[in-house]
Chains A and B, each alone.
Chain A
């Protein structure tokens, strides 16, 4: 093989490998995206009936029920317009509280109950999971709920703090 030919082969081989790696990455990305929906969207049947997704909002006051086994929980996630019942088996994160922001990941059952495999409520008391904050904002912008829940809520992005204030009446204690 002449050096020129060899180099051509090397470049072709390298590009083929790179193309394979890119295909691998994009394929993995495609099949592992987890979409987020607000409770209003779930109620409006916009969420997938099969497959995993996330729901965010506030844990409704007084909705947390614990089964006798101690680790199976039922609670309701609300965006103040609509609600989604959730069950979860396992230990809750430290910052999970009624009236606080939460994001749950899992699947929707045929009976309309969301089976969470993961509950996120994290890091700091003043911090609202951005997805939960967004769900509340959408619900606030569209009091009828379903209309405004097309995923393109108008207006400029507000701060999470604003959304917290908007959710004020639901919060258990005033800070």
Chain B
């Protein structure tokens, strides 16, 4: 009964979405007010219906209803309740439902928080989101229905993949999808602007908080996924340039470019058509990411052959979204206008170069991700593109971008002067170079000097933080002295957001550089009682004993870690055997500290003639690993602060709509604004 309620809600949601997608558009085109007024209630109705559908599927999981095919395929009666809930998005059908549900939540948020926008504009935005919803609902109802029944019902279910039975599974996918789906708001605003021809600084001001919010969710989502891979996959790596990771990284790169180009559009009225194009690209990459991961194209191109309907629908849907919006763009963008001019060296030009680099980087990731798939589909050979490619591309691309990231905030709008920039930044430059030279000398171990790459990384990291510091100092002390406290309180939240995010980049780079440059790794055979030294720590394999979990049995080892004879921590890595799927899984144990992570993972037991118990073991000491996560968190925090800037919530539309806002307010705020 419950699954039927869910299915019925989806059908009703499709009808509501169709109304939401068509009537407001007609209303906006003809001035028919009743049609426009449909948009908001429809958004609310859609949210309620998809909540019901999502709740039904979640209930079927928690209640172990194995007469539902999708539940039987992705859950098991022995699975702990929290994972039974998270198993809702453990497979293709359910993750689409999660996508749809979050889309309806974002639509609801737009409907609720858009009361200050002109009604025709809101109507168009909600209609575009309605179309996206229609696309997903049709796909679910006809080709991947999560509520399909299984007759006769299964006795137990095939269980959730043990790799997914982790707290990361509960938080990572919803966060990531919040990011993906959140970019649909920027997309809908862009399409609405193209339709109406109203694309000015005020438009950018409306879009910015939504884009920043989506970007923040995506950043946290990627961070969670990366941290999960770090402690679950047992390799001690945190980023593999795996296609699935790339799928989430591409919209992040494009979204980062978008939030920067929006600044220029808001402040100076420039880059308008470029901003719209970026909004379209970012959302297209989000959709591409969802489908790449969920359609199975990446694990096997033959997944298309298994279910040709799904593959064709996905291709058609992508074509409509990308092709349709680009066609609309080509038609309407010339009427959008160019905005204020600027000189070769100005904050505009620096932000433009940031955009170019980020776009090229996203393109490079796209190429590296899709090229093997395309070759395979065309049967031109099987290749793979691994981390060396991405590293070879990212280091030379990001080095100038991060240098300019330090320059951009101190440069003036319209025209900046080299001597002025040099005066403002010379202290930060000196500090960063000194850090890159001196810090390696302070590192322990024989490899302390590191490679040129380590010095480059340290320089970029120090530069990011120092240039932020220099900028903040000058902003608070320029002109009148002694007033910095008052000025500190007067700065907009978006300014603090920018500082945090840029400093976060520096912290992140420092973490990556030090963790990669100074990690100590041993893959060895250890007998019980043996001790292995790594990075100044002694790891003693004290013993191993059987253990049991709710749905697995395990061998649990005990490692006593000491430094100079003093105990540091005891680690308990496990080798688990999940009984339902008969799948082994190594659960590493990690001691996290501010300056180093201690990592132990069990390999396999080694039988030897003497009857000793020996295991292969991976021991790693990774310096400053935490800084990678901290850097990402700082970026996300920066995004959150900026999204909450008061400026976006001010009563402004009445004034602004009447006089063109692009230039006049921009000049006044040019010195302060971000």
Inside 8 A of A17's CB, which chain B residues have their CB?
Answer: 353, 356
| A130 close to B (CB within 8 Å) | yes
- Give Cα A13 to B585, complex, Å: 53
Query: A28 and B344: CB pair below 8 A?
Result: no
A81-93 vs B, Cβ < 8 Å mask (1 yes, 0 no):
0000000011110
Residues from chain A with Cβ under 8 Å of B379 in the complex: 152
The reply to whether B300 and A133 form a contact with Cβ atoms under 8 Å apart is yes
Cα–Cα distance between A26 and B299 once the two chains are bound (Å): 25
State the Cβ distance, A16 to closest chain B Cβ, in Å.
12
Contact A90 B523 (CB under 8 A): yes
A49 CA / B515 CA spacing, docked (Å): 34
Given A6-B343, A25-B367, CB of A71 within 8 Å of CB of B385: no
With an 8 Å Cβ cutoff, the count of chain A residues facing the other chain is 49
Contact partner, B614, options A13, A70, A90, A158, Cβ 8 Å: A70
Q: Known contacts being A54-B384, A69-B525, A125-B583, is A28 close to B389, with CB within 8 Å?
A: yes
B382 at interface (Cβ–Cβ under 8 A)?
yes
Q: Which of A32-40, A106-114, A139-147 contacts B (4 or more CB under 8 A)?
A: A32-40
Instruction: Report B-chain residues with C-beta under 8 Å of the C-beta of A105.
Output: 384, 386
Identify which of B299, B343, B356, B523 contacts A71 (C-beta below 8 A). B523
Residues of chain A within 8 A of B603, CB atoms compared: 71, 91-92
Q: Is the interface of B mostly helix, strand, loop or mixed?
A: mixed
Q: Mask for A118-134, Cβ within 8 A of B = 1, else 0?
A: 00000111010011011
For A44, the chain B residues whose CB sits under 8 A away are none
Q: Is B302 at the interface (CB under 8 A from chain A)?
A: yes
Q: A29-B389, A34-B383, A71-B524 are in contact. Are A95 and B584 (CB under 8 A)?
A: yes
In the complex, the answer to whether B302 meets A25 with C-beta atoms within 8 Å is: no
Q: Is the CB of B383 within 8 A of A130?
A: no
Contact in complex: B371, A35 (CB < 8 Å): no
The chain B residue sitting closest to A157, CB to CB, is: B302
B residues near A45, Cβ cutoff 8 Å: none
In the complex, A130→B584 CA distance in Å? 21
The answer to whether A130 and B300 touch across the interface, beta carbons within 8 angstroms, is: yes
Residue numbers in A under 8 Å from B584 (CB-CB): 94-95
CB-defined contacts of A166 to chain B, threshold 8 Å? none
Within 8 A of B (CB), among A51-92: 54, 66, 68-71, 89-92
Whether B606 and A66, one on each chain, are in contact in the complex, defined by CB atoms closer than 8 angstroms, is yes
Question: Which of A3, A13, A36 counts the most B-chain CB atoms under 10 A from its CB?
Answer: A36
Q: Which residue of B lies closest to A13 (CB)?
A: B344
In the complex the two chains form, what is the Cα distance from A36 to B569 in whole Å? 44
A28 contacts B302, CB within 8 Å? Answer: no
One of B209-217, B391-399, B447-455, B498-506 contacting the partner:
B391-399
Taking CB atoms, residues of chain B closer than 8 Å to A3 are 341
Nearest chain A CB to B377's CB is how many angstroms away? Answer: 9
Query: How far is the CB of A168 from the nearest CB of chain B, in Å?
Result: 17
How far apart sit A133 and B357, CA to CA, in the bound complex (Å)?
A: 39
Cβ-based interface call for A14 (8 A): yes
**Given A10-B344, A17-B356: A130 and B524 interface contact (C-beta under 8 Å):** no
- With A3-B341, A92-B604, A130-B302 in contact, do A36 and B393 touch (Cβ < 8 Å)? no
Instruction: Kindly report which residue of chain B lies nearest to residue A156, judged by CB atoms.
Output: B305
A70 pairs with B163, CB closer than 8 A: no
- B382 touching A35, Cβ below 8 Å: yes
What residues on B are CB-neighbors of A91 within 8 Å? 523, 601, 603-604, 616-618
B384 to chain A: which residues have CB within 8 Å?
33-34, 36, 54, 105
A133 to B303, CA, bound (A): 13
- Contact partner of B392 (CB less than 8 A), chosen from A32, A54, A130, is A32
A125 engages B300 (CB within 8 Å)? no
The verdict on A123 contacting B163 (CB below 8 Å), with A33-B385, A130-B299, A160-B300 known, is: yes
Tell whether A50 is near chain B: CB-to-CB under 8 Å: no
Q: In the complex, how many angstroms separate the beta carbon of A137 from the nearest chain B beta carbon?
A: 10
Q: How far is the CB of A165 from the nearest CB of chain B, in Å?
A: 14
Give Cα A21 to B306, complex, Å.
Answer: 39
> Are B392 and A31 touching (Cβ within 8 A)?
yes
Q: Are A157 and B356 in contact (CB under 8 A)?
A: no
Among A25, A70, A127, the residue within 8 A (CB) of B364 is: A25
Q: Which residues on A sit within 8 Å (CB–CB) of B367?
A: 25, 29
Residues of B within 8 A of A14 (CB): 356
- Which residues of chain A have C-beta atoms less than 8 A from B300's C-beta? 130, 133, 159-160
Chain B residues, Cβ within 8 Å of A130: 299-302, 376
B586 adjacent to chain A (CB < 8 Å):
yes
A31 CA to B389 CA, complexed, in Å? 8
**Contact (Cβ within 8 A) B397 A124:** no
Bound Cα distance A142, B389 (Å):
34
Once bound together, how far apart are the Cα atoms of A151 and B385, in whole Å?
19
Q: What's the minimum C-beta distance from B211 to chain A, rounded to whole angstroms?
A: 24
* B368: chain A residues within 8 A (beta carbon): 29
Q: Which chain B positions have C-beta within 8 A of A123?
A: 161, 163, 299
Is B581's beta carbon under 8 Å from chain A?
yes
* Interchain CA distance A151-B603 in the complex, whole Å: 36
5 closest A-B pairs (Cβ-Cβ)?
A70-B525, A32-B389, A36-B382, A28-B392, A91-B603
> Which residues of A does B touch, CB under 8 Å?
3, 6, 9-10, 13-14, 17-18, 21-22, 24-25, 28-29, 31-36, 54, 66, 68-71, 89-92, 94-95, 105, 123-125, 127, 130-131, 133-134, 151-152, 156-161
Q: Name 19 A/B residue pairs within 8 A (Cβ), A-sorted.
A: A9-B344, A22-B360, A24-B393, A25-B360, A25-B363, A28-B364, A32-B386, A32-B392, A36-B381, A69-B524, A70-B525, A71-B524, A90-B523, A91-B617, A130-B300, A130-B301, A157-B301, A159-B305, A160-B300
